[in-house]
Amino acid sequence: MQVAELLRFLLYPTFYAGMLRMMVPITLGAVGEIISERSGVVNIGLEGIMMLGALVSTYVGHFTGSMVLAVVSGLVVGLAAGFLHAGIAVNLAGDQIIDGVGLNLFAVGIGEVLLYLTWGSFATSPQLPPEVRVPSIHGFSPFVVLTLLVAAATWVVVEKTRWGLRLKAVGEDPVAAEAAGIDVFKVRTIATVVGSLLTASAGVFLSLDWLGAYTKNISAGRGFIALALVVFSRWNPLTALLGGLIFGFLFQLSQSIPSGVVPDQILWALPYLVTLLISAGFLAKARPPGAVGRPYKRV
């Protein structure tokens, strides 16, 4: 087969629609994590939050038939997970990694248990009725627009406002920030919760918009890909958006190459390989916020 023949899919708009779909969840997660890490709090639990957001919104949508309730409940999961992580990592100055690992385990387990107990399947819930799914506007998912707006707004807030200045001060040097009269705990808590909320909205996108159901392992590593994207973006929300588009293009490419040309496993593995290579290749000089990952205790 000719290479040109193989790459014909690049000419069709469906390819680019798919690329935007791929871009949305990782970018929302990454922008959320940027807000959180800029304040000095790492959240490894993005994957679990995405899953739980998708799970709960599917559940509520399935049983109430209301899209609004489904979306809201998914976001409430994000709030709850954010406050849990902030409680442990900010207020109690605990380890920032362990509870996130726990949340990821919990999400995988509970998703499987509920899928099976509720719908008798280990693979997927039934398709949600159309009135529960988020409608597209002129063929565009509102989440694509939301992602663009969120990335741009976050950039403006972080770089151009007093709020952003406080956020960065807390993340770079909490002791100095506190001395300047900033409430470190409050800023970190808000940043963590907002970050978690955005990640949960990525989960809502997966279930209510993209797939219209909850499927086993629905986030498929996107939470971790978002973490890699944070470093790729050098903690800049606009670069994260650009990175999201690049990742989205590569992921969609790996799905669009017709099967039979190379073994499917190689195509399926490609997004993870690309993430690993990009993390290893371009990131050597990136400098994280000064106090990222370090708990703050008042002395």
Partner 1 sequence: MRLDLRRYAKPLAESALSVLIGVAVGTLLVILAGYSPVVFFKALFGGAFRSRNAFLDTLSYMVPLTLTAISFAVAARASVFNIGAEGQMYIGALVANAIGVMALPNGAHQVVAILAAFLAGGLWGWIAGILKAKRQVNEVVSTIMLNWLAFYLVNYVATYHLYDPKAPYKTEYVRETARLPELIPRTSLTLDWVLTILIAFLMFFLVWKTSLGYEIRATGINPTAAEYGGVDPSKVISISMFLSGGAGGLAGAFLVLGRFGFITTTLTNILNWGFDGIAVSLVGRNHPIGILFSALFFALLYNGALEVQVATATGGKTGVPIELVLAVMGIIVIAVAVPGLWDMVQERLLLRRKRVEVRGEAAGTVGGE
Site residues (vs partner 1, CB under 8 A) = 44, 48, 84, 88, 92-95, 97-99, 101-110, 112-113, 116-117, 120, 122, 221, 224, 227-228, 231, 263, 265-266, 268-269, 272-273, 275-276, 279-281, 283-284, 286
What values do phi and psi take at 137, rounded to 5?
-110, 115
Phi-psi bin for 212: left (phi > 0), alpha (psi -120 to 50), beta? left
235: helix, coil or strand? coil
CA pair distance 87, 93, nearest whole angstrom: 8
CA pair distance 258, 264, nearest whole angstrom: 9
Residue 8's Cα: distance from chain center in Å?
A: 31
What values do phi and psi take at 295, rounded to 5?
-65, 150
Q: How far apart are CB 48 and partner 1 at their closest, in Å? A: 8
Q: How far apart are CB 161 and partner 1 at their closest, in Å? A: 29
* Residue 140: strand pairing partners: 137
Q: How far apart are CB 285 and partner 1 at their closest, in Å? A: 9
CA pair distance 230, 249, nearest whole angstrom: 17
Nearer to partner 1 (CB atom), residue 204 or residue 278: 278
Nearer to partner 1 (CB atom), residue 3 or residue 284: 284
Using the structure block, give the residue that is written with the tokens 């205790």.
297
What's the one-letter identity of residue 33?
A: E
Nearer to partner 1 (CB atom), residue 205 or residue 224: 224
Q: How far apart are CB 174 and partner 1 at their closest, in Å? A: 17
Q: How far apart are CB 63 and partner 1 at their closest, in Å? A: 14
Nearer to partner 1 (CB atom), residue 175 or residue 266: 266
| CA proximity to 296, closest of 211, 170, 155, 125 | 170
Nearer to partner 1 (CB atom), residue 126 or residue 135: 126
Rg (CA), the chain: 19
Q: How far apart are CB 227 and partner 1 at their closest, in Å? A: 5
| CA proximity to 132, closest of 73, 76, 78 | 73
Other Cβ atoms within 10 Å of 160 Cβ, number: 10
First vs last C-alpha separation in the chain: 69
Nearer to partner 1 (CB atom), residue 130 or residue 281: 281
Q: How far apart are CB 157 and partner 1 at their closest, in Å? A: 25
Nearer to partner 1 (CB atom), residue 7 or residue 98: 98
CA pair distance 185, 298, nearest whole angstrom: 10
Q: How far apart are CB 113 and partner 1 at their closest, in Å? A: 5
Nearer to partner 1 (CB atom), residue 164 or residue 293: 293
